[in-house]
Amino acid sequence: MPIQSKLPAVGTTIFTVMSALATEHGAINLSQGFPDYPCDADLLGALGEAAQQGFNQYAPMAGLPALRQAIAAKLLAQHSISVHPDVEITVTAGATQALFTAIATVLHAGDEAILLDPSYDSYAPSILAQGGRPVHIPLYAPDFAVDWSRVEAAVTPRTRLILINNPNNPATSIFSPEDLDALAAIAERHDLLVLADEVYEHLVYDGQSHQSVLAHPALRARSFAVYSFGKTFHATGWKVGYCVAPRELTAEFRKIHQFLVFAVNTPAQHALAAHLTKPDTWQGLPEFFQKKRDLLAPGLQAAGFRLLPSQGTYFQLAEYSALRPDLDDVAFARWLTIEYGVASIPVSAFYQAPPTQKIVRFCFAKQETTLLAASERLAKLRA
């Protein structure tokens, strides 16, 4: 039957492409962002216990009350903010579902949403699927700083939403308090909503702190903030996340949410609720991942890469012009995978109109042995 595609320009994601190429050539996969080490044994035990105790039927649509209460307690301890677990927190089937749901809640056909490129690859398709128009504002290496005057100049009468990713994947940059002040001023002047992808909230390095929209009063009142237990507890395959928003926004969010998934994995919610009450399970994440970042960095530098600052996320950007200036980043990532057995992601995949740059992204959420093996392979670039 004939069908007119809502996403005619969308094909297979670069993550799927590079992971498949890595498998085909026996490469170490530092492309797709997932750990290759096990989850906490206590979390796995809690999952099994919940299933054995019979918690295998539908959870409440908004999420298990115990989990929402644990999330609220964590936000109070983390940011000294009070969030009502019943009317401001919704458990979702991963962060991507939460992002799609928030976008579907806000946008009507013809509406516009502002994105900061490089942006995660699900954002623009989610906007287009609603009949909306993504408006891309490019950020540039090495610091990927936001020109807020350019953001405000992009606002039109059709603009409804500004979408931010903090810490930013793949830019690995973080927002300052001044960035949030500038964002809030624009949102208030033009009466815009904000969708904040904060899934890497705990992965901020070198003694810096995460600046959440939830801790900024003006943004708190007009933002959806999205989080991922997959990122926090090394369980990306569980696909459990949550969205925090004011009561009125949450009520509209849940209208869409209930017809997308209705409820989220029940035994996983029980396990996460128990695990989240132990602050040490998330408070030590900056040090845990910074050690991995600093383990991979010398190997990349010795191989001839120039490293860009990695302030957050579990990724490292690397400029390769000293190695193969003749190749664009897509060709370089393929060449590196096939010839040297290490897979990365070309950063151009995250731009609507890629700038002239030669940068690839490596994931360091891996075992030490994996990172050292990758460094050993990359050393052959200078052999």
User: pLDDT, tens digit, for every residue of 185-203?
Assistant: 999 999 999 999 999 999 9
pLDDT attached to residue 183: 98
Q: Which of 277, 311, 342 is at the close of a domain? A: 277
- Does a structural domain hold residue 297? yes
pLDDT digits (tens, 9 = 90+) for 121-142: 999 999 999 999 999 999 999 9
CATH number for the domain spanning 325: value is 3.90.1150.10
- Residues spanned by the domain of 259: 41-277
Q: Give yes or no: residues 254 and 302 share one domain.
A: no
- As given in the structure block, the two tokens for residue 317 are 């950007």
Residue count of the chain: 383
Confidence check: pLDDT of 383 > 80? no
Nearest CA among 103, 228, 135, 212 for reference residue 167:
212
- 127 and 257: one domain? yes
Q: Please tell me the distance from the alpha carbon of residue 195 to that of residue 313, in angstroms, as a whole number.
A: 18
* Coil, strand or helix at 33: coil
**Can you give the pLDDT at residue 3?**
86
Helix (H) or strand (E) holding 163: strand 159-165
- Which of 277, 299, 328 is where one domain is finished? 277
222 in the same domain as 199: yes
Task: Compute CA distances 159 → 15, 32, 115, 178, 187, whole Å.
Answer: 30, 32, 11, 23, 10
How many domains is the chain partitioned into structurally? 2
Q: What is the pLDDT of residue 9?
A: 85
Same domain membership, residue 254 and residue 151: yes
- Per residue in 67-109, pLDDT (tens digit) is 999 999 999 999 999 999 999 999 999 999 999 999 999 999 9
Helix axes 368-378, 285-303, angle to 10 degrees: 10
Query: DSSP readout, 86-141?
Result: TTSEEEESHHHHHHHHHHHHH--TT-EEEEEES--TTHHHHHHHTT-EEEEEE--T
